Chains A and B, each alone.
Chain A
């Protein structure tokens, strides 16, 4: 088994090396020279080489990245193709945190959301990087993995989790149902807006909440996605024609974006945000905060109000680079600063949804 793993790793290293070797540097320089939001200096472009491509790219554009064809395929694989424990993994510093998806294997095994992962099948994950941990978590469909996690109230617990094919909800409803509480993790073009609309209609019919009860949208795990989907989502809560923001590009390009016509949702809005709320999610939250349509509760957000685009290169690899910036209706941006919540909570409250909901209720009582 060890031999197989070593062989697989060796193969992966070879593949990566061959992909990097084939990276068409001149095409990359040309794309960046002509399309990057902030034009790079020629010296920086000239410094790009096959050996330093990943690091030097980030010197030019902190969000630029080169993907091999295989990496890009895996990245864009549809959510329905997932096989696994039904949880996401993030590293907070060096601490691995599990983000549990509703209805997935981890959820059904009872693994709490946002818990610290300690061991996989009895082996500690301390000191491992995200990719190594993910590798241990992955496995054949139908197999089980034993997870040891640190419980929020103290102590540890073991869970046996089945790996299975899993299609997460595009917008999750979080129990208990007395609250209108939904979670968005990703802003997918043409997908998230209709899903949110359907979810809100569903909640109106099924949840026993008062019409004036606030809708709480949990964006703590929303890392971003499609910029225009974020605009469309914000437009669901604002009158038709309202200015949502300005998309600024190269060479003086600027486009004002307005809320489209259609049915609007008028209930009060609270958005849960945190340091992992980024990009399209920040745009969505920022628009609704600046227009005073929503209050933000949580911790300051990541601070990335720029968008990237992907350019396919001749060898099948893909260059991702920053091409646009979003300005809010007031003309400001969140890049570098993030959004400041209307109610800032303590860091240790961010992982406890019940505690956050208590804080939301207190906030709503003070600001009816």
Chain B
């Protein structure tokens, strides 16, 4: 027996000694596997692996659900912004119609032209406010704001739009009074 063989035997012996007293089949390698097969450990190992697999599948399902929720939230936010934009478009059409009526008033005889001029000034402010809304909604889509801030921003824009709507209603009423 030369030195190389002696060294190899020492290593094998060392491995066997290393496995002794460890019932966990996962640590055994070939010898451990053999020992596990003979001691019923193989079945246990399969069961453990299946249990682990089931755990991983459950985690994956949770992650998938969370991802779906986030995507739904994102698309919901997108839909909300689109709805807001549609409202702004509708208001713009209303304001364009009001603009025409006020211009018609300005060329009408016997109408208080000072009041018409005041209305035109307020209409210009209203248009500017609506333009601001439009741009803010555009900016919101690609903004760096976090989810909560985007939600807050939408609420702020909604409240500002309500205020613009009130101003529009008031101007509409004034225009009708003047037209009469």
A interface, CB within 8 angstroms of B: 78, 80-81, 86, 102-105, 108, 164-167, 169-171, 173, 189-191, 193-195, 197-199, 201-202, 206
Q: Is the CB of B160 within 8 A of A166?
A: no
Interface residues of B in 134-179 (CB under 8 A from A): 135-136, 138-140, 142-146, 148-149, 151-153, 155-156, 158-160, 162-164, 167
A165 CA to B162 CA, complexed, in Å: 26
Most chain A beta-carbon contacts within 10 A, residue among B138, B148, B159: B159
Partner of B144, one of A80, A104, A195: A104
Q: Is the CB of B135 within 8 A of A80?
A: yes
Please indicate the chain A residues that have their CB under 8 angstroms from the CB of B94 in the complex.
none
Partner of B152, one of A78, A165, A167, A173: A173
Most chain B beta-carbon contacts within 10 A, residue among A81, A102, A198, A201: A198
29 of the cross-chain contacts (CB-CB < 8 Å) are A78-B132, A80-B135, A80-B138, A80-B139, A102-B149, A103-B144, A104-B144, A164-B144, A165-B142, A167-B139, A169-B145, A169-B152, A169-B153, A169-B156, A173-B149, A190-B125, A190-B163, A190-B164, A191-B129, A191-B132, A193-B163, A194-B159, A194-B160, A194-B162, A194-B163, A195-B156, A197-B159, A198-B155, A199-B152
Partner of A166, one of B144, B151, B158: B144
Tell me the number of A-to-B contacts counted with CB atoms below 8 Å. 76
Q: Nearest Cβ distance between residue A174 and chain B, in whole angstroms? A: 11
Partner of B132, one of A80, A164, A169, A198: A80
Could you tell me the dominant secondary structure of chain B's interface residues? helix
Closest to A198 in B: B159
Given known A-B contacts A103-B144, A190-B160, A167 and B136 have beta carbons under 8 A apart: yes
Please indicate the chain B residues that have their CB under 8 angstroms from the CB of A173 in the complex.
149, 152
Closest to B138 in A: A80
Please indicate the chain A residues that have their CB under 8 angstroms from the CB of B138 in the complex.
80
A190 CA to B159 CA, complexed, in Å: 10
Q: Nearest Cβ distance between residue A79 and chain B, in whole angstroms? A: 8
A198 CA to B162 CA, complexed, in Å: 11
Please indicate the chain A residues that have their CB under 8 angstroms from the CB of B131 in the complex.
78
Please indicate the chain A residues that have their CB under 8 angstroms from the CB of B135 in the complex.
78, 80-81, 167
Interface residues of B in 25-81 (CB under 8 A from A): none
Partner of A199, one of B129, B132, B156: B156
A197 CA to B145 CA, complexed, in Å: 20
A191 CA to B153 CA, complexed, in Å: 12
The 9 closest A-B pairs by CB, nearest first: A194-B159, A198-B159, A167-B139, A103-B145, A80-B135, A195-B156, A198-B155, A194-B163, A194-B160
Closest to A177 in B: B148
Partner of B155, one of A80, A105, A202: A202
Instruction: Known A-B contacts: A78-B135, A198-B159. Give 6 more (CB < 8 A).
Output: A166-B144, A167-B140, A169-B152, A190-B125, A191-B132, A195-B156
Q: Nearest Cβ distance between residue B165 and chain A, in whole angstroms? A: 11
Most chain A beta-carbon contacts within 10 A, residue among B125, B129, B138, B143: B143
Q: Is the CB of A103 within 8 A of B149?
A: yes
Q: Nearest Cβ distance between residue A311 and chain B, in whole angstroms? A: 14
